[in-house]
Structure 1
Amino acid sequence: MPDTKIEDLRLEVHAATADMAAAAAAHTADVLTRAVAERGAARVVIATGNSQLAFVTALAGYEVPWSRITVFHMDEYVGIDADHPASFRRWIRERIAEPFGPARVEYIDGEATDVEAECLRYEALLRSAPIDLTCMGIGENGHLAFNEPDQADFADPRWVRPITLTPESLHQQVGEGHFPDIASVPPTAISLTIPALLSARTVQVVAPEERKAAAVRNTLTLPISPACPSTILRRTPHAILYLDAPSAATSQDLLPTPA
Structure 2
Amino acid sequence: MIEVTHLVKRHGSKTVVDDVSFTAMPGRVTGFLGPNGAGKSSTLRILLGLDRPTSGTALVDGVAYRSLDRPLQRVGAMLDGPGANKGRTARAHLRWVAQSNAIPTSRVEEVLALTGLQGAAGKRIGAFSLGMGQRLGIATALLGDPGILVLDEPTNGLDPDGIRWMRGFLRSLADAGKTVLLSSHLMSEMEDTADDIVVIVRGHVVASGAGSEVLGDHASLEEAFFALTDARTEYGARAEHPDPEGRDR
* TM-score > 0.5 by shorter chain: no
Query: Which structure features the higher share of strand residues?
Result: 2
Structure 1 length as normaliser, TM-score? 0.38
Structure 2 length as normaliser, TM-score? 0.39
Instruction: Please tell me whether Structure 1 or Structure 2 has the larger radius of gyration of its CA atoms.
Output: 2
